Chain A
Amino acid sequence: NAGVTQTPKFQVLKTGQSMTLQCAQDMNHEYMSWYRQDPGMGLRLIHYSVGAGITDQGEVPNGYNVSRSTTEDFPLRLLSAAPSQTSVYFCASSYRRTANTGELFFGEGSRLTVL
Protein backbone atom coordinates (compact mmCIF):
# COMPACT_ATOMS: atom_id res chain seq x y z
CA ASN A 1 0.00 0.00 0.00
CA ALA A 2 2.37 2.71 -1.27
CA GLY A 3 0.24 5.87 -0.99
CA VAL A 4 2.40 8.95 -1.62
CA THR A 5 6.07 8.20 -2.27
CA GLN A 6 8.77 10.86 -2.21
CA THR A 7 12.39 10.54 -3.25
CA PRO A 8 15.03 11.26 -2.18
CA LYS A 9 14.43 11.34 1.56
CA PHE A 10 17.63 13.29 2.18
CA GLN A 11 19.70 15.51 -0.09
CA VAL A 12 22.56 17.94 0.34
CA LEU A 13 23.17 20.49 -2.39
CA LYS A 14 25.60 23.28 -2.99
CA THR A 15 24.34 26.76 -3.76
CA GLY A 16 23.51 27.06 -7.44
CA GLN A 17 22.97 23.36 -8.08
CA SER A 18 19.68 22.13 -9.44
CA MET A 19 17.74 19.03 -8.54
CA THR A 20 14.34 17.40 -8.73
CA LEU A 21 12.31 16.03 -5.86
CA GLN A 22 10.11 13.19 -7.04
CA CYS A 23 6.57 12.52 -5.89
CA ALA A 24 4.34 9.67 -6.99
CA GLN A 25 0.93 8.52 -5.76
CA ASP A 26 -0.98 5.36 -6.59
CA MET A 27 -4.41 6.40 -5.34
CA ASN A 28 -5.60 8.02 -8.57
CA HIS A 29 -5.85 11.39 -6.84
CA GLU A 30 -6.51 14.39 -9.04
CA TYR A 31 -4.97 16.88 -6.65
CA MET A 32 -1.26 16.96 -5.83
CA SER A 33 0.77 19.62 -4.10
CA TRP A 34 4.13 20.49 -2.64
CA TYR A 35 4.63 22.10 0.75
CA ARG A 36 7.69 23.18 2.64
CA GLN A 37 7.97 23.09 6.42
CA ASP A 38 10.39 25.32 8.28
CA PRO A 39 10.96 25.67 12.04
CA GLY A 40 8.49 28.04 13.66
CA MET A 41 6.34 28.22 10.55
CA GLY A 42 3.38 26.24 9.37
CA LEU A 43 3.50 24.25 6.19
CA ARG A 44 3.47 26.58 3.20
CA LEU A 45 2.14 25.71 -0.23
CA ILE A 46 4.67 25.93 -3.07
CA HIS A 47 2.79 24.65 -6.11
CA TYR A 48 -0.25 22.51 -6.71
CA SER A 49 -2.02 20.66 -9.50
CA VAL A 50 -5.65 19.66 -9.96
CA GLY A 51 -4.96 17.23 -12.77
CA ALA A 52 -2.56 16.18 -15.49
CA GLY A 53 -1.39 19.19 -17.47
CA ILE A 54 -2.65 21.71 -14.91
CA THR A 55 -0.44 23.41 -12.34
CA ASP A 56 -0.65 26.61 -10.34
CA GLN A 57 1.37 28.59 -7.86
CA GLY A 58 0.91 28.51 -4.14
CA GLU A 59 2.13 30.86 -1.46
CA VAL A 60 5.90 30.49 -1.99
CA PRO A 61 6.57 29.44 -5.62
CA ASN A 62 9.75 31.43 -6.35
CA GLY A 63 12.74 29.26 -7.18
CA TYR A 64 10.66 26.16 -7.90
CA ASN A 65 9.11 24.64 -11.00
CA VAL A 66 6.61 21.83 -11.37
CA SER A 67 4.96 19.85 -14.11
CA ARG A 68 2.20 17.25 -14.15
CA SER A 69 2.44 15.02 -17.21
CA THR A 70 0.62 12.10 -15.58
CA THR A 71 -1.94 11.69 -12.82
CA GLU A 72 0.58 9.76 -10.73
CA ASP A 73 3.66 11.99 -10.76
CA PHE A 74 4.31 15.55 -9.63
CA PRO A 75 8.04 16.41 -9.54
CA LEU A 76 9.35 19.59 -7.92
CA ARG A 77 12.40 21.17 -9.53
CA LEU A 78 14.79 23.52 -7.78
CA LEU A 79 16.33 25.60 -10.52
CA SER A 80 19.32 27.09 -8.69
CA ALA A 81 19.41 26.05 -5.06
CA ALA A 82 19.85 28.69 -2.38
CA PRO A 83 20.45 28.28 1.38
CA SER A 84 16.95 29.72 1.96
CA GLN A 85 15.57 26.59 0.33
CA THR A 86 16.93 24.41 3.12
CA SER A 87 13.75 22.83 4.41
CA VAL A 88 11.65 19.72 4.68
CA TYR A 89 9.49 19.25 1.61
CA PHE A 90 6.23 17.34 1.66
CA CYS A 91 4.21 16.17 -1.28
CA ALA A 92 0.48 15.76 -0.65
CA SER A 93 -2.38 14.38 -2.68
CA SER A 94 -6.12 13.96 -2.49
CA TYR A 95 -9.26 13.61 -4.54
CA ARG A 96 -10.15 17.04 -5.82
CA ARG A 97 -13.37 17.14 -3.83
CA THR A 98 -11.69 16.36 -0.52
CA ALA A 99 -8.65 18.48 -1.30
CA ASN A 100 -11.01 21.40 -1.59
CA THR A 101 -11.91 20.93 2.05
CA GLY A 102 -8.43 20.12 3.34
CA GLU A 103 -8.16 16.35 3.66
CA LEU A 104 -4.69 15.55 2.36
CA PHE A 105 -2.42 12.51 2.26
CA PHE A 106 1.23 13.39 2.73
CA GLY A 107 4.40 11.67 1.67
CA GLU A 108 7.14 10.99 4.21
CA GLY A 109 9.04 14.14 3.34
CA SER A 110 12.34 15.06 1.73
CA ARG A 111 14.95 16.81 3.86
CA LEU A 112 17.00 19.21 1.76
CA THR A 113 20.08 21.08 2.92
CA VAL A 114 21.63 23.73 0.71
CA LEU A 115 25.17 24.73 1.65
Chain B
Amino acid sequence: RKEVEQDPGPFNVPEGATVAFNCTYSNSASQSFFWYRQDCRKEPKLLMSVYSSGNEDGRFTAQLNRASQYISLLIRDSKLSDSATYLCVVNERGFQKLVFGTGTRLLVSP
Protein backbone atom coordinates (compact mmCIF):
# COMPACT_ATOMS: atom_id res chain seq x y z
CA ARG B 1 0.00 0.00 0.00
CA LYS B 2 1.32 3.43 -0.91
CA GLU B 3 1.90 5.80 1.97
CA VAL B 4 -0.20 8.52 0.34
CA GLU B 5 -2.77 7.58 -2.27
CA GLN B 6 -4.67 9.79 -4.65
CA ASP B 7 -6.97 9.14 -7.58
CA PRO B 8 -4.88 10.29 -10.56
CA GLY B 9 -7.95 11.47 -12.49
CA PRO B 10 -8.27 13.39 -14.66
CA PHE B 11 -11.35 15.00 -13.27
CA ASN B 12 -13.07 16.82 -16.12
CA VAL B 13 -15.51 19.47 -14.92
CA PRO B 14 -17.21 22.50 -16.49
CA GLU B 15 -16.58 26.00 -15.28
CA GLY B 16 -18.63 26.78 -12.20
CA ALA B 17 -18.80 23.19 -11.01
CA THR B 18 -17.88 21.97 -7.56
CA VAL B 19 -15.28 19.22 -7.42
CA ALA B 20 -13.77 17.26 -4.57
CA PHE B 21 -10.60 15.21 -4.29
CA ASN B 22 -9.72 12.74 -1.59
CA CYS B 23 -6.37 11.51 -0.41
CA THR B 24 -5.70 8.65 2.00
CA TYR B 25 -2.59 8.15 4.09
CA SER B 26 -1.30 5.04 5.79
CA ASN B 27 0.64 6.33 8.78
CA SER B 28 -1.70 7.15 11.65
CA ALA B 29 1.12 9.08 13.36
CA SER B 30 1.26 11.65 10.56
CA GLN B 31 1.53 15.12 11.94
CA SER B 32 0.71 17.72 9.30
CA PHE B 33 -1.04 17.80 5.97
CA PHE B 34 -0.99 19.99 2.89
CA TRP B 35 -2.37 20.46 -0.57
CA TYR B 36 0.07 21.63 -3.21
CA ARG B 37 -0.83 22.70 -6.74
CA GLN B 38 1.38 21.87 -9.71
CA ASP B 39 0.75 23.31 -13.15
CA CYS B 40 1.89 21.38 -16.19
CA ARG B 41 5.71 21.33 -16.36
CA LYS B 42 5.98 23.72 -13.44
CA GLU B 43 7.04 23.48 -9.83
CA PRO B 44 4.69 22.54 -6.97
CA LYS B 45 3.33 25.46 -5.00
CA LEU B 46 1.70 25.33 -1.60
CA LEU B 47 -2.05 25.76 -1.94
CA MET B 48 -3.11 25.37 1.66
CA SER B 49 -2.42 23.60 4.89
CA VAL B 50 -5.05 21.22 6.25
CA TYR B 51 -6.09 21.69 9.85
CA SER B 52 -7.93 19.25 12.06
CA SER B 53 -10.96 21.49 12.29
CA GLY B 54 -11.09 22.03 8.54
CA ASN B 55 -10.20 25.27 6.86
CA GLU B 56 -11.29 27.42 3.99
CA ASP B 57 -9.45 29.77 1.67
CA GLY B 58 -11.80 31.47 -0.74
CA ARG B 59 -13.25 28.80 -3.03
CA PHE B 60 -11.08 26.09 -1.53
CA THR B 61 -11.99 24.02 1.52
CA ALA B 62 -9.73 21.41 3.08
CA GLN B 63 -10.85 18.75 5.53
CA LEU B 64 -8.96 16.20 7.62
CA ASN B 65 -10.43 13.00 8.99
CA ARG B 66 -7.85 11.44 11.28
CA ALA B 67 -10.05 8.50 12.23
CA SER B 68 -10.39 7.40 8.61
CA GLN B 69 -6.98 8.78 7.61
CA TYR B 70 -8.07 10.85 4.68
CA ILE B 71 -7.79 14.43 3.54
CA SER B 72 -10.12 16.17 1.14
CA LEU B 73 -10.00 19.27 -1.02
CA LEU B 74 -13.20 20.89 -2.26
CA ILE B 75 -13.13 23.49 -5.01
CA ARG B 76 -16.28 25.51 -5.53
CA ASP B 77 -17.15 27.54 -8.62
CA SER B 78 -14.30 26.05 -10.65
CA LYS B 79 -12.34 28.38 -12.91
CA LEU B 80 -10.38 27.54 -16.04
CA SER B 81 -7.30 28.62 -14.11
CA ASP B 82 -7.89 25.85 -11.55
CA SER B 83 -6.77 23.30 -14.15
CA ALA B 84 -3.70 21.72 -12.61
CA THR B 85 -2.51 18.70 -10.68
CA TYR B 86 -3.23 18.76 -6.96
CA LEU B 87 -0.70 17.01 -4.73
CA CYS B 88 -1.60 15.68 -1.31
CA VAL B 89 1.34 15.93 1.08
CA VAL B 90 1.67 14.30 4.48
CA ASN B 91 4.37 14.93 7.04
CA GLU B 92 5.08 11.82 9.07
CA ARG B 93 7.94 12.94 11.26
CA GLY B 94 9.57 16.17 10.26
CA PHE B 95 11.21 17.36 7.10
CA GLN B 96 13.00 14.13 6.49
CA LYS B 97 9.71 12.32 6.04
CA LEU B 98 7.47 14.51 3.89
CA VAL B 99 5.48 12.17 1.65
CA PHE B 100 4.00 13.39 -1.60
CA GLY B 101 1.07 11.78 -3.36
CA THR B 102 1.26 11.30 -7.10
CA GLY B 103 -1.39 13.95 -7.65
CA THR B 104 -4.91 14.33 -8.99
CA ARG B 105 -5.29 16.06 -12.30
CA LEU B 106 -8.13 18.54 -12.73
CA LEU B 107 -9.28 19.85 -16.11
CA VAL B 108 -11.83 22.66 -16.08
CA SER B 109 -13.48 23.30 -19.42
CA PRO B 110 -15.50 26.29 -20.69
A contact residues vs B (CB 8 Å cutoff): 31, 33, 35, 40-45, 48, 50, 56, 58, 90, 94, 96, 99-109
Chain A residue at minimum C-beta to C-beta distance from B34: A102
Closest chain-A Cβ to B63's Cβ sits at a distance in Å of 17
Chain A residue at minimum C-beta to C-beta distance from B33: A102
Residues of B with C-beta under 8 A to A103? 34, 46, 49
Residues of A with C-beta under 8 A to B57? none
B95 in contact with A99 (CB, 8 Å): yes
The DSSP consensus for interface residues of chain B is strand
B contact residues vs A (CB 8 Å cutoff): 4, 31-34, 41-46, 49, 87, 89-91, 94-96, 98-103
B42 in contact with A102 (CB, 8 Å): no
A99 to B96 alpha-carbon distance, docked (Å): 9
A sample of 7 inter-chain contacts (CB < 8 A) reads: A33-B95, A42-B103, A58-B96, A99-B95, A107-B43, A109-B41, A109-B43
3 closest cross-chain pairs (CB), A and B: A42-B100, A106-B43, A43-B100
A103 to B45 alpha-carbon distance, docked (Å): 9
Contact of A108 among B34, B43, B98 (CB under 8 A): B43
Residues of A with C-beta under 8 A to B96? 45, 48, 56, 58
Contact of A42 among B33, B45, B49, B101 (CB under 8 A): B101
Beyond contacts A43-B44, A102-B89, A103-B34: 12 other A-B pairs, Cβ-Cβ < 8 A, are A41-B102, A42-B99, A43-B87, A44-B100, A90-B43, A94-B95, A96-B95, A101-B31, A102-B98, A106-B43, A106-B44, A109-B42
